[in-house]
Amino acid sequence: MDPEKVIVCRCEDVLLSDVLRAIEKGYRDLESIKRLLRVGMGSCQGRHCLSIIARVLAKATSLRIDELNYPPSRPPLMPIQLKYFVSDEDEE
């Protein structure tokens, strides 16, 4: 399996090779990998990628998956319609 061709986070287009490089650079927990690569910040909020990355990290660091702390989920408090972010040029 070529790490350059394996996508681990579809939302943010992160490859397995990106995760492996982060681990080689010293990123040893899911929170720091999330902050570096933006995994878990896409539309799925990490429901797919974080478990994959946890397995890769556990294998690379010889830790058990239950020893890895998953980053907290921070969903928006309430949905906001896009119309509140777009202004009409005629309005002052």
Name the pTM for this structure.
0.75
At 43-86, the pLDDT tens digits run 888 888 999 999 999 999 988 988 888 887 766 667 778 888 88
Q: 89 falls in which pLDDT band (50, 70, 90)?
A: low
Distance CA 59, CA 9 (A): 18
Closest Cα partner for 7 from 52, 43, 41?
52
Distance CA 38, CA 10 (A): 11
Closest Cα partner for 70 from 24, 39, 26, 25?
39
Give yes or no for residue 1 having a pLDDT over 90: no
Structural domains for the chain: 7-84 (1.10.10.1100)
